[in-house]
Structure 1
């Protein structure tokens, strides 16, 4: 009952909004505000204030789904209707989606883009955009990435607001906690929304600081809200150094090669990513007998080599040649030990930890209106459209399509004044037709945020080094077409009477740098991934040399590869392990060698959950862990059982871990920013191991 009421509450505004659109399409000269109020069902009985708010809201919905509304301050012909006031109409020349004339390779790049953002709220924009441009299923069977799947950063409704803000260079307000822990209200004109190393950042002009600033979304303490009356701020610069922004946000130091002493058989992550080297004079003597010197890329501090070395708790030490890294490692381990030396703050025991609630993007009348117009635009071609094709292009279930088709029968011209002019929906022989809807002879154009999001997903494809150079160039070529044909000509229209006499004011710099950018920041050997994907497609058994994550050991496995799964900045191989006789998940960057066995296997079903392995596990111990505000989003990788957010921005979680080794490595990896609160025995063990590792780091002796 509740579900049907919610459905109806969304359907009624959708009927009214489509009725408004069809009325405006019916008369090229448009209608005055009072004419619209009299003709559209749902407006006529409202008071002046209520009508003004609802009419403005409905215009915003139409604009949000791509309908270009114009308002002339006087009658178009200056004649007898001039005193009736403003007339609202639809810009018919800008209404319909342009044909981009994409090549087959460019279309294939878009199909890949459509599949890549599996769990992002922005995926709906990409699904709609690609589905309106062409039928993606036509190319689904011809894809080098057929065995590739993604688990993107969890859905965050803030992305939708910020994507629109970046595309239109709007100003937003939000409360933000910076790296030092200070909480302040910020007012920002948003220039870019960027995905770097699995994290989203909004970059723009900070009106409070009078300078460019970048903000990590996970540090926003409130949802961003559009500022209706904001001071002037600089527009997005032409020729902005987007590559430099990426380097700054990623904290990249990948060009730096770092030398690390490893204990016998330890440091498999370093061994898999680096190479053994001969010691130099400035590397000093080995910390103990049997230790080996290896060299690898440094990477970012949060998840790079420094974190890997710290997590080994004294079983890996930086060469004395890197004095700064030696000092920082010792400081981080000393901080971890110091945090655990005293008893924990007893205040945590009074916290009420609750299971995490996953925020979901709300489905609104805007979503429904957009989808209904898409159905009409796609079904209006000669002979209608096959049901299967419509499902593919819209990315909906058969049940959802049935509900939408039933609702369409109530849409069209205002029923009271134009009886019998509603849509006639017909389905026969698997084909769907919509009659009495000639005003929409093709799909509505993409919105500016949708076009920018589509460019962003194509950037992800263009960055994928596992693809051949020609395929990556096709993604860049498709980007250029979309920017030239859809973004440069797709500036949104101002909509409020107070803002302009004509509602077609362009956004400065709208055709400049891409407003949304999503980089493929996966550090992995492309040839290894290509070999795995080929083996998945051809059902070939492979022999892997694997450096295990949890046990820090090396082994050889014969596996039947089933899928490569991306989770943030890491790739994982889902496979049937013949040694274990069960499904297993392997980190691809820990695979140091692949050999063909010459065997083929009969395909097995892949487990339903396409997730990466975690150090969480219900077979181990349960710990209560505090995360400082600086690293609190790292807790998501451990799948908290329960949590609480503290006033200062810290996060307390209850985790199921596989053992004390995992807890100690977690604490060491984050220095003093992660603290085990309970159980007491685990806290004491972590303190002792961190202290011992710190002494090794200071002395360089094992």
Structure 2
């Protein structure tokens, strides 16, 4: 680490330096046991400097080709991103998408590099951009690197049968579907394309040899999913639904929020069955008749499976599944990138608050002081101690001087650009009037990609244009835009003004009908594919969390507030307070992942058991019904009874003439 810093400082402090002089003044090169050892060491250091994005240039003397010079290009010629404050802010927001968990070297480096640019973020815009947008997983960085470099990758994967197996894959595309990361590519062992869910990868992927299978053009992850769920049995299902309910289905059909009956587009039978069962509390399938009978049979079997007490002894005999041990420690380049960013950040501002800088970088103050101590002993090794970096942090104020070579612009690698593009794509649904800023930042990132890099995910604008021919789809999109624009305007307004408050109609997942509430928006939060508005609610007299897509209407000021009706059937509000145990057949394992199971156990014949702590009751009931019998709640008994009641009520609607 110190050697690399010294090499950068020594080369960057002068117009250029020849190889012989560099080898003489860098102690590790000079003390190497042989000239060949010094050469190998220097070649590794050069690769590391280039990987960081430092513009290192090699030149031969025009008069003596045996003399090699090295220099680092000036900051102007090395700059890669000419960003406005707003563009910098949305890129910083995109990098924050990875903060909730370690997402590998690319995520760590890209945040450090952005901070080194010396911009000040727009605090208002940053407040209106959500955090935690992208599912953060430590396996993502090597997967992205394999895609951008056309390399093979090896990892241990736990598929639907539950047995971990080694896989060798040539990744074609890494993307997000329904808030979860997937990698699609050529499975070398099975000699066929395969789709892998990233959260089921149980070892840190290791890069292998170059890929040999041609990558298909125009890959689209959603199209891959449609192929997986395709069926020759297709039809246009007709559905009766309660007003303002089954919102996802209404959006899919392009139906209005109040329409009592609507028709879905022609879709495969398995896909329609899943969508219907996940919303079954609010609807009735009218046609086709044979699909209606199937829905009734599935609900009857789910109800029968949950009658009475469950046999919990099988849980005790199942083998506990150990947590995957995916260990990712920051590499030398991750740390060096952070050190350079710290120096650039402080020098661009003159000084910085210790606590503020450690928070911006996502490290502890103790780690930051350790970094500054490393900077303090590094510098231009070709001169005296007076040209070493000066770093001080007394009284909580950080100052760094004499480190001008570290202010050279850091270029973003293809992997880092891909990581930022994914973050921007996830920001777009909640961008509101900041969408043009997101688009311009995206264009500048794309300008830095290599020609052979994979195509990024389509933007929300491109998707909207593709669907513009459907008038109902456009109307649904307009509704979401209207809600988001009002929320963004309220977030910008002064806290004491009327503009900072909204009257909304909200459709809850656990109660019939809707409620009318006057709220004071505080911030937007995102969890995977779901975006939430945190707001003070006058009706509740406390802060509440609202799913953005369930705010179905912005109402005029003065509209009377109204609580949701209790309705018939079991109460599904809140979280399950008792410990929940699930029995899952292979097709139902996704439920444990969706609810972040606290414990997993493996039984016989591919059956697995999961313990959930405090799941949302309504969401879990819907997931069990959506699984079509692949998931059974074993405990608590009260939740089993609730599922029986819901399944019977919903099934009765489909058995009536």
Report the TM-score range of the alignment, normalised by the length of the smaller protein.
0.7 to 0.9
CA shift in 2, pair 1:248/1:182, >3 Å: same
* Alignment counterpart, residue 438 of structure 2, candidates 463, 475, 495: 475
Alignment of 1:16-95 (within 5 A): 16-22=3-9, 28=16, 31=19, 39-41=26-28, 44=31, 61-67=48-54, 92=73
Tell me what 1:513 maps to.
455
Report which stretch shifted further, 306-315 or 355-364.
355-364
Tell me what 1:606 maps to.
none
CA shift in 2, pair 1:642/1:298, >3 Å: farther
CA shift in 2, pair 1:206/1:450, >3 Å: same
Matched residues in 1 for 2:541 and 2:359: separation? 40
* Alignment counterpart, residue 370 of structure 1, candidates 337, 343, 350: 337
CA shift in 2, pair 1:476/1:562, >3 Å: closer
Q: What's the TM-score once normalised by structure 2's chain length?
A: 0.74
Tell me what 1:560 maps to.
520
Matched residues in 2 for 1:531 and 1:396: separation? 32
Is the contact between residue 598 and residue 611 of structure 2 (CA under 8 Å) also seen in structure 1? yes
Alignment of 1:32-431 (within 5 A): 39-41=26-28, 44=31, 61-67=48-54, 92=73, 97-103=78-84, 106-107=87-88, 109-119=90-100, 121=103, 123-137=107-121, 139-141=122-124, 143=125, 146-178=127-159, 184-210=165-191, 212-227=193-208, 230=209, 232-234=211-213, 240-242=217-219, 244-249=220-225, 259-262=238-241, 267=245, 269=247, 274-275=255-256, 293=261, 306-307=273-274, 309-311=276-278, 316-320=283-287, 322-323=288-289, 325-326=291-292, 329-330=295-296, 332-333=298-299, 336-337=302-303, 344=311, 346-351=313-318, 362-378=329-345, 385-387=350-352, 391=357, 395-396=361-362, 399=365, 401-413=368-380, 421-425=387-391
Tell me what 2:449 maps to.
487
Matched residues in 1 for 2:247 and 2:373: separation? 56
Matched residues in 2 for 1:373 and 1:241: separation? 38
1:665-686 Cα offsets, whole Å, 9 max, x none, are 4321222332223346755x37
Is the contact between residue 151 and residue 207 of structure 2 (CA under 8 Å) also seen in structure 1? yes
Is the contact between residue 29 and residue 76 of structure 1 (CA under 8 Å) also seen in structure 2? no
What are the ranges of 5 or more consecutive residues in structure 1 without an aligned counterpart? 1-13, 279-291, 489-508, 600-613
CA shift in 2, pair 1:672/1:91, >3 Å: farther
Is the contact between residue 202 and residue 325 of structure 2 (CA under 8 Å) also seen in structure 1? no
Matched residues in 2 for 1:473 and 1:659: separation? 36
Shift of 1:653: 2.4
Shift of 1:187: 2.2
Name the Cα RMSD after superposition.
5.1
Is the contact between residue 456 and residue 518 of structure 1 (CA under 8 Å) also seen in structure 2? no
Q: What's the TM-score once normalised by structure 1's chain length?
A: 0.70
Is the contact between residue 313 and residue 689 of structure 1 (CA under 8 Å) also seen in structure 2? no
Tell me what 2:564 maps to.
none
Is the contact between residue 557 and residue 579 of structure 1 (CA under 8 Å) also seen in structure 2? yes
CA shift in 2, pair 1:365/1:104, >3 Å: closer
What are the ranges of 5 or more consecutive residues in structure 2 without an aligned counterpart? 230-234, 464-475, 560-571
* Alignment counterpart, residue 551 of structure 1, candidates 484, 500, 511: 511
Is the contact between residue 37 and residue 44 of structure 1 (CA under 8 Å) also seen in structure 2? no
* Alignment counterpart, residue 653 of structure 1, candidates 602, 610, 615: 610
Matched residues in 2 for 1:134 and 1:35: separation? 30
CA shift in 2, pair 1:528/1:24, >3 Å: same
Matched residues in 1 for 2:155 and 2:490: separation? 48
How many residues in Structure 1 have an aligned counterpart in Structure 2? 612
Matched residues in 2 for 1:646 and 1:88: separation? 64
1:521-561 Cα offsets, whole Å, 9 max, x none, are 99871211221222233343333322221233432223333
Matched residues in 2 for 1:154 and 1:197: separation? 10
Shift of 1:581: 2.0
Tell me what 1:496 maps to.
none
1:620-672 Cα offsets, whole Å, 9 max, x none, are 33221134454535435545444446698765322345798765443212223
Is the contact between residue 466 and residue 526 of structure 1 (CA under 8 Å) also seen in structure 2? no
Is the contact between residue 150 and residue 210 of structure 2 (CA under 8 Å) also seen in structure 1? no
Shift of 1:110: 3.3
